[in-house]
Amino acid sequence: MNAVAQILAVVLGLMLIAVGILESFFYRNPRLFPIFRIRPDDQRAVRLWVINQGFYNMTYGVGALVGVILANTGQEAVGRALVLFVAAAHVVLGIVLVVSEPKLWRGAVGQAGVAAATLVATLL
């Protein structure tokens, strides 16, 4: 994997971990309600999906970071495959997000944009 792909994969991984932490542990913070599109009265109703979604993101983020580590420790093909999987998954998930809720286009661009750049850089 080239240096650009590795940097983007690390950025993607850290971004997913950060978002996952916000989703799983800080979704009750009123400043995050607009980002997650929840109302104060909805906190109990969304608890299950938002925590689960957060751990999905953290797991994918760790996967991207592990992929870079593997690529640099003699397992380049495995690491590259892992990074490609994480990036491709988030391109698809970003598309699903904007199709299912067009108002979340900014989040979809954030989710799919870095992932698409990582995908392209890894394939080059």
Q: Considering only residues 106 and 40, tell me which one the structure prediction assigns the higher pLDDT.
A: 106
Mean pLDDT to the nearest integer, 45-70: 93
Q: How confident is the model at residue 104 (pLDDT cuts 50, 70, 90)?
A: confident
Report the alpha-carbon distance of residue 67 to residue 1 in Å, rounded.
10
pLDDT at 47 over 90: no
What percent of the chain clears pLDDT 70, i.e. is strictly above it? 100
Residue range of the domain that includes 75: 3-123
Tens digits of residue pLDDT in 26-38: 888 888 777 777 7
Q: What pLDDT does 112 receive?
A: 95
Q: What pLDDT does 12 receive?
A: 97
Q: What is the pTM of this model?
A: 0.90
Q: What pLDDT does 40 receive?
A: 79
pLDDT at 43 over 90: no
Report the alpha-carbon distance of residue 19 to residue 112 in Å, rounded.
14
Mean pLDDT to the nearest integer, 55-76: 97
Split into its structural domains, the chain has a count of 1
pLDDT at 49 over 90: no
